[in-house]
Amino acid sequence: MGCLDGKHALVTGGTSGIGCATARVLAGEGCRVTVCGRDPVRLEGAVTDLRASGAVEGSVADVCDEASMVRTVAAASGPDGLDIVVANAGIDPMVAFGAADVSAWRSLLETNVLGAAVTIRAALRQMEPEGRGQVVAISSLVTREGDGSNPVYAGTKHALEAIVDGLRRTSRGNGVRFTTIRPGVVATDMARSHPQERLDALARDLGLDPSAIGVLHGERLPPEMHAAIRALHGRILLPEDVANAVLYAVTQPPGVQIDDLSIRAVADL
């Protein structure tokens, strides 16, 4: 028996990293989980892997497309509606402010802010009539500590938190809970957005030869880099650490709400 038996959850950005780890943890506790992503091939691979942990389904969807998210929320809901939504989908181009293209900023804002708002609104339309449910938004510690390397990314996370804070205030008494989770540095494939020279430097810092292991901008990090990064646990968070924070938030007694939860590695990089 799991602590989430009979519950239904939707996790956006669920094909890798924090989203995939969260889906695995929730499914392992008996929750029926739907993960969504834009790439059908990656989604199918993730769902196949995740089903070893429990009941997991996939839905091809773009969080910025309201119609597709309404369909996805409906598919994720059980007979009594949707219990949990984890608004995790996000991007970080990791390009210096002065060098960034405006189109990259637009995509950043659309995914991290508009996409989260579309997801949460679609979920609330299922949750509010039932008088229960939980919204979990994955933010970042950059909202508390700043990020001089990418202030626009930090701005999108501030905006996400403002949306959740506002909804928490206006939804008091309707039974829906709202939680913001702020992780520090996490070992995920988001690093693939780094410019090639930074990826090469990261590989060398890990004691690896970038040309030998095939580090390429825009591609998933090679297994050798993942293994080396995971060996830094204690200096950097793993996706499972964030997933366990989500589990902690959604398994509180019905009358308890975790508003905000900040987590970091003990010896944060």
Distance CA 27, CA 10 (A): 11
Known catalytic membership, residue 153: yes
Token digits for 37? Answer: 């992503």
**With contact defined as beta carbons under 8 Å apart, do 58 and 34 qualify?**
yes
With beta carbons less than 8 A apart as the criterion, state whether 180 and 260 touch. yes
| Closest C-alpha among 218, 242, 15, 230 to residue 141 | 242
Cβ proximity of 50 and 117 under 8 Å = no
Active-site residue identified among 82, 112, 153, 179: 153
DSSP letter string, 20-88: HHHHHHHHHTT-EEEEEES-HHHHHHHHHHHTTTS-EEEEE--TT-HHHHHHHHHHH-BTTB--EEEE-
* Bridge partner list, 37: 60
Written as six digits, the tokens of 131 are 């008088």
* Burial class (CB within 10 angstroms; exposed 0-12, middle 13-18, buried 19+) of 52: exposed
Pair 32, 80: CB distance under 8 Å: no
Catalytically active residues are 153
